[in-house]
Amino acid sequence: MSYLFFDTETTGLPKKYNAPISDLDNWPRLVQIAWLLTDDFGQVISEHEYIIKPNGFTIPEVASVIHGIDNLKAHQEGGDLKNILNIFNKSLSDSSPILVAHNLMFDQNILAAEFLRARMDTDFLSLKTICTMKKSISFCDLPNRRFPKLSYLYYKLFNEDFDNAHNALADVVACYRCFFELKKRNIDLFPDI
């Protein structure tokens, strides 16, 4: 069994979270993606981090302030979206992993919208998934059973903050560490079907 931990940084938030993926105007654009592929024991098999070169969109300043990627940086350091999506697909096809993310539905919808925009096929929506945000609600025990932010879960587990929150790779590494610590503590992490 293998796990693929992934995170996205975007141009903003969707207007409606329950909108279909096909409503492309609703879904923000992908600015950065990172993923770790691991085995069942947490051994990292591969690590990927990419900035997307904007094509047909700009990164609003309000989003740049959050993740630190502005239009200039994205144009200078960014890669072609289709190439990056192909690399992501290859990571999936090589191992058929369980997908893991914190606020998985958001990241999944962002990626699905980008695959649709690029007119590319992918099997990632058919894979089993685990959302550390949803799976850690009881463990975090926030008032009104609120969803815990990744930074809160990380602090609760390790009694320290993690650096560079809202950098896709930093968030992926934090999610990965939280997942295996929750697993070690026997918290229910069975995949969602």
Residue 83 domain-assigned?
A: yes
Q: E strand or H helix at 51, and its extent?
A: strand 44-51
Residue 179 domain-assigned?
A: no
Q: What is the pLDDT of residues 132-164, one digit of tens each?
A: 999 999 999 988 889 999 999 999 999 999 988
Residue 125 domain-assigned?
A: yes
What is the amino acid identity at position 139? F
Q: What's the number of domains the chain is made of?
A: 1
Q: What is the CATH number of the domain that holds 105?
A: 3.30.420.10
Is residue 4 over pLDDT 70? yes
Residue 158 domain-assigned?
A: no
Q: What is the pLDDT of residue 31?
A: 98
Q: E strand or H helix at 131, and its extent?
A: strand 129-131
Q: What is the pLDDT of residues 9-49, one digit of tens each?
A: 999 999 999 999 999 999 999 999 999 999 999 999 999 99
Residue 183 domain-assigned?
A: no
Residue 128: C-alpha distances to residues 46, 62, 184 (Å): 19, 33, 20
Confidence bin at 177 (pLDDT 50/70/90): very high
Distance between CA atoms of residues 12 and 101, nearest Å: 18
Residue 188 domain-assigned?
A: no
Of 12, 5, 64, 63, the residue nearest 33 (C-alpha):
5
| The two three-digit tokens of residue 154, written as one number | 């990380």
Which structural domain range is residue 45 located in?
2-131
| The two three-digit tokens of residue 58, written as one number | 């700009």
pTM for this entry: 0.94
Q: What is the pLDDT of residue 164?
A: 85
Of 130, 137, 105, the residue nearest 1 (C-alpha):
130
